[in-house]
Amino acid sequence: MACARVPLDEQQVTEPGPLGKERTLPALHPERKEERYFVPYKPPPADGSPAEVEEFLEHAKFITEDLEWLLALPHDKFWCQVVFDESLQRCLDSYLHHAPRGLDLTALPSSPAVADMQRSIHRVVFLTFLRMATHKESKEHFLTPAVFGEIIYDNFLFDIPKILDLCVLFGKGNSRLLHKMIENIFIQQPSYYSDLDETVPTVLQVMPDLTLPEVQLVKTLNDSNRCFKTPQTQKYDHELVDIILYLCDSTTTIHAFQDIFPAACSSFHSHDWPRFMRPPCPTSRKPLGRETLTIKRDLQEDLWKRLSHSCRKMVETAHLLLHHTCLQPILEGQENMQTFADELLQHFTSLLPEKRFLSDYDEQFPIADDISLLQQALPVIDETRTSYLLQGVESAWDSVGRRKPQSRTKSKASSLVPSSQEGAGGAGAVCPVSGAELESLLSCIRDLLPDLGEGFLLACLQEYGYNSELVINNILEDRLTPSLDKLDRAMPRPVKEELPSVLSNRSNVFDDDEFDVFRRDQVDMSRIWKGRRKGESTREMLNDKQHIAEQRARYKAYETVVDEVVIEPGETAATYGLDDYDDEYDDTYDMNQVGANDLDRDSFLNRRPFTVPQVLRKGNKAEDEESDNDEEEETLQNNAHRDQFVQDPAVLREKAEARRAHPSNVVGRPKGQGQATETLLDRRRKETNKSRVGNHNRRTMADRKRNKGMIPS
């Protein structure tokens, strides 16, 4: 038995020989292989007849059981069977060659038994390759890495074509496992990098040599079928089908390989990879006559679908190459960032002659975004060079007859169709579109898909922004949104409802007037004229007093004036339009002098001296009479002064001298001893005249606020 923790390639095993004697053999030896025949794989039947389905199920069951038996073998037995059993390799190779690819799955029969059996085979084949790519299963079961690399390389267990097929077949849903598997193969055996470098030039050389004859999609005279037309000989019809199938398979496989194993991008990048971006797409699409070679409609739709798929994969492959070889080092901040940026701009510039490809690339992965990223990472980017590149992108859109979408997404699911569809009615149009453009889009789609109703196509155009390319591609690849997938594909075009007349809904201030011709059948034309009214002079217009007569009756009502109306018994004033006198008028506040106490500048109350009521006076009657006499004398003096129109200036000067000579006694006696009358008068006079000097009318305004309750007393 093998010793623990020893590589399988160094182990020796002892087992009975042919004659019954024990013998010692290496753990990896041809005689240790089990005799078992692995049948080759056959794809599911295309027509799905019961006999062929039964044969396929029986054949597939053998393959599934044999591979499950292989996977259950111990580590040493498994590798003996894998290395030395040629039938196993033929079985695995046949599956890689003939297994349905992504676009082929729609052609499989709808039998649930066939689908389940195909999934079972798919699973066990993947597990077999996964175990074959693992050199260490556990601490006790492993191979020396160098020996493992020699085994898989020398016995052709893996090669570049097989790895490419593994990526396209098992990449969906298993990308991480597949990446680890392929990475381990290339690490343990670097010779695969050399094989890849030799394979890439061959692939890139074959692609541009795929020159299609001039291809035209036409209708037969009875309009019952569509066809591709090659105007030379019948062999070109079959050649067209073969080239499109090869193109679809190659582009899909290369994209899957680079997507799962990005390290391979450097191998493609080191060669003239832009040659790969020159697809042989049909370029003309005009009706021909009766002599066309007809391809069945289902095959024709399948070819269009594959051609569209190929164009999209080319764009995505180019993006992967540029991203992993130029953009990714810049994002990671590696050295020589300027070199990577210049290389990226150089690749974009080399694509400028490929107008159709460049517009498709810019639709999925806007070049302006990549240039903006470069400008942020490297501010020293040449503005002239980037401007020239962006102008070239805009020119590419114009040259292929397409309009650049206003809103674009970077989703890899964006659609691309060959530009042969562009000349058929403005493909790529975006909303809004005119009526003529909409009819052109519908005609373009119905030429390819005549079974679909116009109502369904209108809904698709509305969903995808009136982009006919996107509609065609999603219909052919059966990738419509759930809302569209639920619609009836034969749905007719909805009947356009006539809008009500604008005149019936109009609203205007002149509605129903004498000149409203929309609502009146008869209009007085004598009142309508153009320009100056004929036969009417200025004098006649002034002499026309018709407007006075019209106003006469209006003013006649004001002629009668009644001073007194006699109300008969039993009548009220309301009978004659009169108001009754209201004896309940509230005169409570009639005696209040509203605003009388406001201390304005010229207020009477502010200037009036304080007068003690006679009831409160302490003096006798003689003093009162004397005071009255003084007042009378003062009144006479004032009257005498009023009689003088101009007073004597000398008298005025004497009075002024006397006022100035009279001492002002505002200080008075100490507080608490009382003040003389003269002192009080002087203080009042000073207080009153304060507004004439420096303090202005501060006191007056303070009194006014106090009287209004604004300042507490």
Structural domain contains residue 642: no
Structure tokens at 63: 């393959």
Structural domain contains residue 25: yes
Q: How far apart are CA 212 and CA 204, in angstroms?
A: 17
Residue that the structure tokens 């009255």 belong to: 628
Taken in order 269, 271, 274, 275, the sign of the CA dihedral is: negative
**Residue 607: pLDDT over 70:** no
Structural domain contains residue 646: no
Q: From residue 118, how far is each of 52, 62, 111, 401 by CA, in Å?
A: 14, 12, 11, 45
Which pLDDT belongs to residue 97? 92
What rounded mean pLDDT belongs to the chain? 76
* DSSP structure class, residue 15: E
Residue that the structure tokens 């019936």 belong to: 504
Which pLDDT belongs to residue 110? 63
**Residue 192: pLDDT over 50:** yes
Which pLDDT belongs to residue 534? 66
Task: Read off the pLDDT of each residue in 311-336 and give the average, rounded to a whole number.
Answer: 88
Kindly report which listed range (186-195, 338-347, 512-521) carries the lowest average pLDDT score: 512-521
The residue out of 352, 384, 400 marking a domain boundary is: 400
Structural domain contains residue 2: no
Task: Report the number of secondary-structure helices (H) and strands (E) in the chain.
Answer: 28, 4
**Residue 284: pLDDT over 90:** no
Kindly report which listed range (265-274, 474-483, 532-541) carries the lowest average pLDDT score: 532-541
The residue out of 448, 477, 506 marking a domain boundary is: 477
| CATH number of the domain enclosing 442 | 1.10.8.10
Which pLDDT belongs to residue 287? 35
Residue that the structure tokens 């006022």 belong to: 659
pLDDT bin (cut points 50, 70, 90) of residue 132 is: very high
Contact status, residue 162 vs residue 96, Cβ threshold 8 Å = yes
Residues 12 and 149 in one domain: yes
Which pLDDT belongs to residue 422? 43
Report CA 527 to chain centroid distance, whole Å: 60
Structural domain contains residue 332: yes
DSSP letters for 74-115? -HHHHHHHHHH-HHHHHHHHHHHHHS--GGGGGGS---HHHH
Structure tokens at 508: 């205007």
More confident residue, 288 or 101: 101
Residue that the structure tokens 């993006």 belong to: 319
**Residue 410: pLDDT over 80:** no
Residues 250 and 216 in one domain: yes
Kindly report which listed range (202-211, 325-334, 483-492, 653-662) carries the lowest average pLDDT score: 202-211
Residues 327 and 387 in one domain: yes
Q: How far apart are CA 504 and CA 117, in angstroms?
A: 69
Residues 168 and 34 in one domain: yes
By three-state DSSP, how is residue 284 classified?
coil
Taken in order 640, 641, 646, 648, the sign of the CA dihedral is: positive
Residues 304 and 177 in one domain: no
Which pLDDT belongs to residue 224? 37
Q: How far apart are CA 220 and CA 294, in angstroms?
A: 8
* DSSP structure class, residue 325: I
Contact status, residue 36 vs residue 66, Cβ threshold 8 Å = yes
Q: How far apart are CA 388 and CA 392, in angstroms?
A: 6
Residue type at 469?
E
Which pLDDT belongs to residue 218? 39
**Residue 312: pLDDT over 70:** yes
pLDDT bin (cut points 50, 70, 90) of residue 85 is: very high
**Residue 144: pLDDT over 70:** yes
Which pLDDT belongs to residue 125? 95
Task: Read off the pLDDT of each residue in 451-470 and give the average, rounded to a whole number.
Answer: 86
Task: Read off the pLDDT of each residue in 75-82 and give the average, rounded to a whole number.
Answer: 94
Which pLDDT belongs to residue 373? 87
pLDDT bin (cut points 50, 70, 90) of residue 44 is: confident
pLDDT bin (cut points 50, 70, 90) of residue 39 is: very high
Size (the chain), residues: 713
| Total structural domains within the chain | 3
Task: Read off the pLDDT of each residue in 378-398 and give the average, rounded to a whole number.
Answer: 87
pLDDT bin (cut points 50, 70, 90) of residue 129 is: very high
More confident residue, 621 or 162: 162
Task: Read off the pLDDT of each residue in 92-104 and give the average, rounded to a whole number.
Answer: 88
More confident residue, 503 or 216: 503
More confident residue, 600 or 472: 472
Which pLDDT belongs to residue 521? 75
Structural domain contains residue 110: yes
Residues 27 and 145 in one domain: yes
Single out the residue of 307, 134, 130, 121 nearest to residue 212, CA to CA: 307
The region that residue 584 occupies, defined by phi over 0 for left and psi between -120 and 50 for alpha, beta otherwise, is alpha
Structural domain contains residue 451: yes
Structural domain contains residue 595: no
**Residue 495: pLDDT over 70:** yes
More confident residue, 490 or 188: 188
Single out the residue of 44, 74, 48, 69 nearest to residue 58, CA to CA: 44
Task: Read off the pLDDT of each residue in 580-584 and give the average, rounded to a whole number.
Answer: 54
More confident residue, 575 or 427: 575
**Residue 600: pLDDT over 90:** no
Report CA 653 to chain centroid distance, whole Å: 97
pLDDT bin (cut points 50, 70, 90) of residue 573 is: low
Residues 298 and 393 in one domain: yes
Q: From residue 384, how far is each of 35, 345, 389, 390 by CA, in Å?
A: 71, 12, 9, 10
**Residue 623: pLDDT over 70:** no
pLDDT tens digits, residue range 14-35? 888 777 788 889 999 998 999 9
Which pLDDT belongs to residue 154? 94
Among 205-209, 445-449, 484-488, top mean pLDDT goes to: 484-488
pLDDT bin (cut points 50, 70, 90) of residue 396 is: confident
Task: Read off the pLDDT of each residue in 254-281 and give the average, rounded to a whole number.
Answer: 78
Residues 249 and 178 in one domain: no
Structure tokens at 464: 């995808």
**Residue 408: pLDDT over 50:** no
- What's the domain range around 131? 8-188
Residues 216 and 82 in one domain: no
Kindly report which listed range (65-79, 116-130, 448-462) carries the lowest average pLDDT score: 448-462
By three-state DSSP, how is residue 702 classified?
helix
Which pLDDT belongs to residue 506? 65
Task: Read off the pLDDT of each residue in 661-679 and give the average, rounded to a whole number.
Answer: 78
Residues 332 and 201 in one domain: yes
Task: Read off the pLDDT of each residue in 618-631 and give the average, rounded to a whole number.
Answer: 57
Q: How far apart are CA 213 and CA 232, in angstroms?
A: 8
pLDDT bin (cut points 50, 70, 90) of residue 562 is: low
Residues 341 and 446 in one domain: no
Q: From residue 365, how far is each of 306, 312, 320, 371, 419 by CA, in Å?
A: 21, 12, 11, 11, 18
Kindly report which listed range (160-164, 430-434, 462-466) carries the lowest average pLDDT score: 430-434
Structure tokens at 546: 């018709």
Q: How far apart are CA 416 and CA 311, in angstroms?
A: 6
Cα-flanking dihedrals φ and ψ of residue 13, to 5°? -125, 150
The residue out of 413, 446, 477 marking a domain boundary is: 477
Kindly report which listed range (122-131, 151-160, 460-469, 701-710) carries the lowest average pLDDT score: 701-710
**Residue 426: pLDDT over 60:** no
- Span between the terminal Cα atoms of the chain, in Å: 123
Task: Read off the pLDDT of each residue in 434-456 and give the average, rounded to a whole number.
Answer: 80
Contact status, residue 416 vs residue 402, Cβ threshold 8 Å = no
Which pLDDT belongs to residue 667? 78
Residues 160 and 93 in one domain: yes
More confident residue, 462 or 642: 462
